[in-house]
Chain A
Amino acid sequence: MAVIRDVMPAFDLLQPASAADAQKLLETYRENAWVMAGGMDSFDWLKDRIKKPQVLVDLSGVDELKGIRTTADGVEIGSMTTLTDIAKDATIRKNYGLLAEAVEHVASPQIRNQGTLGGNVSQDARCWYYRGGWPCYRAGGNECFADTPVGRNREHAIFGANRCVAVNPSDSAPALIALDAKFVIQTSKGEQVVDAEDYFLGPEVDITRLNILRPGDLLTAIRIPSTWSGAKFYFEKVRDRNVWDFPLMNVAAAMKFSGGNIDEIRIAVNAVAPRPMRLTAVESAVRGKPADAATGEMAGKLAVQGAIPLQFNAYKIPLMRNLVKRAIGGVQETTWTS
């Protein structure tokens, strides 16, 4: 894709000042509207002329969508809160350090200053065929260019592929799933609250979008219950460069102990499948066991069962095995006994 050094094609810019107005505008223009939060995902699409919305609804002026509020049961983070603000927030750092760590690993400082939590969880797939404007399944076509004998698919899925093999690239998503967060969505029918893991969609449901937002819907807030406040957290992101890059894979886990054994656990991995993957089989297998190398190893092996690698991403299987092992057994154990 040639880089076009020119201004973007024209669109009309609408700048609502309230969430209600924003939702109304999205409802009015529906498929013709593009929702812009921080804009870090949007501008690539617009500058490359791959997406040409008639109307851009800029949410940056909607102050009620910004900020972190303490509620009776945890915290509520406005969808337009920047990643920097989340990473700096004292409550988040103290009680929900998993999320602070996850958002600190996103892209670069400038992008975190501008990028928002709502945008980070709602961003589109990074498959370069798709983003380069190729007429693939996700773009409404009839072919996947990544899943061919010569397709460049090093970053693509090892689980859950269904025609499209792109992965969800969000760093905050697995952390929010591990923290059992709830996503608050304003729709034309009113407010809808969904579990973090139900916010994301696989290609078997709708191949053209990564989340449940339909035209006219607006993600307004993310609520984190106090259930996992102060639990033992683990987050790790693997990427080619230490700045900017999307994850080759990341893992987020929250664990509670009783009598030295894992009592409760939630663990999720992203960039392995079209949607962030919560590892429920691993969760039930390690419950009641000590968080040591043996448990970690067992969990790692269990986690990758059923993985189907593509031509260039078989490395993701041992990577995922190791990340899950480290998330549960700790990082000091680095050798495999089998």
Chain B
Amino acid sequence: MSDSDDLKQNEGATKTITRRNFILGVIAGGAVVSAASYRFLAPSRRQLSGAGERLITLYINGKPRRVDVMKQETLAWTLRYKLGLTGTKLGCDRAECGSCTVLIDDVPYYSCSVLTHTVRNRQVTTIEGLAAADGKLHPVQQAVVDEQGFQCAFCMTGFIMSAVGFLKTNPNPTRAEMAQGVSGNLCRCQDYSKILDSLMRAAEYTRRA
């Protein structure tokens, strides 16, 4: 069949399309559209004067990364879906669970609630950037492994990033202070006691390191 035949058939289909077929088509196509919309549909709004570059350099785990970022994109989105750093988890996407916690200039932030464009000149550290170049785990990671602190561990990367940030401000915390320090993270397994055990060990390892 030639291309022109194809075109004619399509025209015919367009003319005879029924409401039912249209709805079925939307259902079938919907998943594809919604999955692709973040990339192709969202930036369709007219660009206003003062709009900056979309292709920007981010400093992630000590390395400069060139990446195409939408204005309205959150850091968690960029890390996971543009840079493939899926160690950062998206739990609630509303700054209410802590699983997306990353360090920006050594301070813990919810990356779901930071616009990527606002961290252009800042150092972002994710869980992937904690271990040393030779693969040696960060003291906090090692402590979590040693204590087997987490059950399902979805929240783990957020907890570890929070703890790393907190230990920079208070290297010698009491258990209550550590609990306060990571109070911006939730664990749905309610594994807090074991998490605190491992984070107290983490404090000890960090002091020794």
Query: Residues on A close to B: CB < 8 A?
Result: 3, 5-15, 25, 39-40, 43-44, 46-47, 54-56, 58, 60-61, 84, 107-111, 113-114, 242-244
Write the nearest CB–CB distance from A10 to chain B, whole angstroms.
Answer: 4
Q: Are A114 and B118 in contact (CB under 8 A)?
A: no
**Which chain A residues border B98 with CB–CB below 8 Å?**
108, 110
B 46-100 contacts with A by CB, 8 A: 47-48, 50-52, 70-74, 77, 90, 92-96, 98
**Which chain A residues border B182 with CB–CB below 8 Å?**
109
Write the nearest CB–CB distance from A35 to chain B, whole angstroms.
Answer: 14
Q: Are A109 and B181 in contact (CB under 8 A)?
A: yes
**Which chain B residues border A114 with CB–CB below 8 Å?**
109-110, 113-114
Q: Are B183 and A108 in contact (CB under 8 A)?
A: yes
Q: Are B184 and A12 in contact (CB under 8 A)?
A: no
B 27-50 contacts with A by CB, 8 A: 34, 37-38, 42-45, 47-48, 50
Write the nearest CB–CB distance from A48 to chain B, whole angstroms.
Answer: 9
Q: List 20 A-B contacts (CB under 8 A).
A: A5-B93, A6-B37, A7-B70, A8-B74, A9-B42, A10-B71, A11-B45, A11-B72, A12-B48, A12-B51, A13-B72, A14-B50, A15-B118, A40-B113, A43-B95, A108-B184, A109-B181, A111-B184, A114-B114, A243-B183
Q: Are A242 and B71 in contact (CB under 8 A)?
A: no
The residue on B at minimum CB distance from A36 is: B115
Pairs A-B, 6 closest by C-beta atoms: A108-B184, A13-B71, A110-B184, A8-B72, A12-B48, A10-B45
**Which chain B residues border A44 with CB–CB below 8 Å?**
94
Most buried by B among A6, A40, A108: A108
**Which chain B residues border A108 with CB–CB below 8 Å?**
98, 183-184
**Which chain A residues border B117 with CB–CB below 8 Å?**
13, 15, 58
Write the nearest CB–CB distance from B104 to chain A, whole angstroms.
Answer: 9
B150 at the interface (CB under 8 A from A): no
The residue on B at minimum CB distance from A111 is: B95
Q: Are B50 and A113 in contact (CB under 8 A)?
A: no
The residue on A at minimum CB distance from B37 is: A6
B 97-140 contacts with A by CB, 8 A: 98, 101, 107-110, 112-115, 117-118
With A108-B98, A110-B184 as contacts: A3 and B51 at CB distance below 8 Å: no
| One of A10, A47, A242 near B42 (C-beta < 8 A) | A10
CA separation between A8 and B76, bound complex, in Å?
Answer: 13
**Which chain B residues border A84 with CB–CB below 8 Å?**
107
Q: Are A109 and B108 in contact (CB under 8 A)?
A: yes
Write the nearest CB–CB distance from A115 to chain B, whole angstroms.
Answer: 9
Most buried by A among B92, B110, B166: B110
